[in-house]
Amino acid sequence: MKIINRSMPGFRLAIAAAAFMAVAASSVLVSIPVSAAPPKPKMSTPTLSCGTSSKVSIQITMTAGATGAPAGISLQWMPLADFLANGSVWPSSDSPSFCHASFSGNANDSRYTLAAGQSVTVDIGDLLFDNGTSASCVEPLVCGTTYVFRAFAHANSTYNRSDFTPNLQCSTLPCEDLQNNCTYTQGYWKTHGPIPTGNNTNVWPVTSLMLGAVNYTDLELQSIFDTPAQGNGLISLAHQLIAAKLNIANGADGSSVAATIASADAMIGGLIVPPVGAGSLATSTVSSLKTTLDNYNNGLIGPGHCQ
């Protein structure tokens, strides 16, 4: 058996080296930080572009960037004059001095779940409050006015919200006097009919209209205006058709929608519109006709919108 002499210098050096290595190893272990989860990347910034304008509305097209905008987009706007008066700086997010709308991609059947490069168009001043839409401003825009817009893509579980887009300037149409050769929206005619809203008066130029093959009194037409469509395409088509016919009876040039009106009447035929009757049409079958009539009533086609 070999006897180790603990007093030998070599033995003492070996013990010291082992102790040093143990201390060094423990120091390394202590100094290694716990790795934090990496920050989430941002959504790609969407882009904005101006579309068709009327005297009271501006169409804005929002296009998603490379990440898409699966949770939707928020849009903000204010008159350019107000923006410049504020030093060309947007007010704080809780300020009531500018308008904002959210177009959520998380709502059921939302059209705002955007893939990369996909676009959606909204009509500021005459917003369609479909699934996912909410807004702080619902009134029409002012004619002859330039507005400034910006937007960002919403965050989701994978990405933080995007940066704001660059500011975009778009203008409503001028406020020239068109006398009676101009159009009003269905909302105007609804609140200025035989049962006017608030301080409004009845300005309907007729006391009856034909929808399809059926004649309706002004009170029956008012009741149709007051009935929500709730998925019945016949009612939504009737709203725009009544407005278009009232506009034409009031002096507006209807040549741009004459064929559309004839097609709408043919589609309605003998169906009786609720609540006067119980007729019904699928929304998909009336979509194209309704859109054309809505564009006419809003002044996007035809003689233009009244002041």
- Residue 97 in any domain: the answer is yes
* Whether residue 145 is found in the same domain as residue 209: no
Q: Tell me: the pLDDT tens digits for 223-244?
A: 999 999 999 999 999 999 999 9
How many angstroms separate the CA atoms of 110 and 128, rounded?
A: 12
- In this structure, which amino acid lies at residue 35? S
**What integer pLDDT is reported at residue 24 of this predicted model?**
47
How many angstroms separate the CA atoms of 235 and 241, rounded?
A: 10
pTM above 0.85, yes or no: no
* Whether residue 157 is found in the same domain as residue 190: no
Tell which of 138, 171, 204 closes a domain: 171
- Residue 302 in any domain: the answer is no
Integer angstrom CA distances of residue 35 from 8, 32, 158, 164: 46, 9, 19, 31
* Whether residue 52 is found in the same domain as residue 160: yes
* Whether residue 52 is found in the same domain as residue 167: yes
* Whether residue 58 is found in the same domain as residue 164: yes
pLDDT for residue 127 is more than 50: yes
CA atoms within 13 A on the CB side of 124: 34
Q: Which of the pair, 11 or 287, is modelled with greater confidence?
A: 287
- Two structure tokens written together for 240: 């725009």
How many angstroms separate the CA atoms of 63 and 103, rounded?
A: 13
Characterize the bridge pairing of strands 214-217 and 146-153: unpaired
3-class secondary structure, 291: helix
Tell which of 124, 141, 171 closes a domain: 171
- Considering the chain, what is the average pLDDT of its residues? 88
**What integer pLDDT is reported at residue 113 of this predicted model?**
96
- Residue 36 in any domain: the answer is no
Residue 56: Cβ within 10 Å count: 25
DSSP state of 207: S
How many angstroms separate the CA atoms of 159 and 153, rounded?
A: 10
Tell which of 171, 203, 235 closes a domain: 171
- Residue 179 in any domain: the answer is no
* Whether residue 99 is found in the same domain as residue 204: no
Strand partners, 237: none
Q: Which residues lie closer than 8 Å to 52 by C-beta, 6 or more apart?
A: 59, 300
DSSP state of 199: T
- Residue 162 in any domain: the answer is yes
Q: Tell me: the pLDDT tens digits for 245-272?
A: 999 999 899 999 999 999 999 999 999 9
3-class secondary structure, 82: helix
**What integer pLDDT is reported at residue 25 of this predicted model?**
47
How many angstroms separate the CA atoms of 263 and 29, rounded?
A: 80
* Whether residue 201 is found in the same domain as residue 115: no
pLDDT for residue 179 is more than 70: no
Out of 3-12, 52-61, 177-186, the most confident range is 52-61
Q: Tell me: the pLDDT tens digits for 10-35?
A: 545 555 555 555 444 444 444 455 56
Choice among 49-53, 102-106, 158-162 with the minimum mean pLDDT: 49-53
| Domain of 87, in residue numbers | 47-171
**Mean of pLDDT values over 164-170:** 97
- Residue 15 in any domain: the answer is no
How many angstroms separate the CA atoms of 72 and 151, rounded?
A: 11
Nearest to 151 by CA among 87, 72, 96, 70: 72
Q: In the chain, pLDDT over 70 holds for what percent of residues?
A: 87
Q: Which of the pair, 138 or 170, is modelled with greater confidence?
A: 170
* Whether residue 291 is found in the same domain as residue 206: yes
* Whether residue 191 is found in the same domain as residue 290: yes
Nearest to 216 by CA among 256, 178, 272: 272
Nearest to 221 by CA among 231, 230, 213, 211: 211
Q: In the chain, pLDDT over 90 holds for what percent of residues?
A: 71
- Residue 227 in any domain: the answer is yes
Q: Which residues lie closer than 8 Å to 117 by C-beta, 6 or more apart?
A: 63, 64
* Whether residue 262 is found in the same domain as residue 233: yes
Helix (H) or strand (E) holding 60: strand 58-63
- Residue 190 in any domain: the answer is yes
* Whether residue 195 is found in the same domain as residue 275: yes
Distance separating the N- and C-terminal Cα atoms of the chain: 114
Q: Tell me: the pLDDT tens digits for 30-89?
A: 445 556 777 899 999 999 999 888 778 899 999 999 999 999 999 999 999 999 999 999
* CATH code where residue 156 lies: 2.60.40.10
**What integer pLDDT is reported at residue 35 of this predicted model?**
61
pLDDT for residue 176 is more than 70: no
* Whether residue 53 is found in the same domain as residue 155: yes
Total of domains in the chain: 2
**What integer pLDDT is reported at residue 155 of this predicted model?**
96
Angle at 145 (CA atoms; ends 142, 146), nearest 5 degrees: 130
* Burial (CB count within 10 angstroms: exposed 0-12, middle 13-18, buried 19+), residue 179: exposed
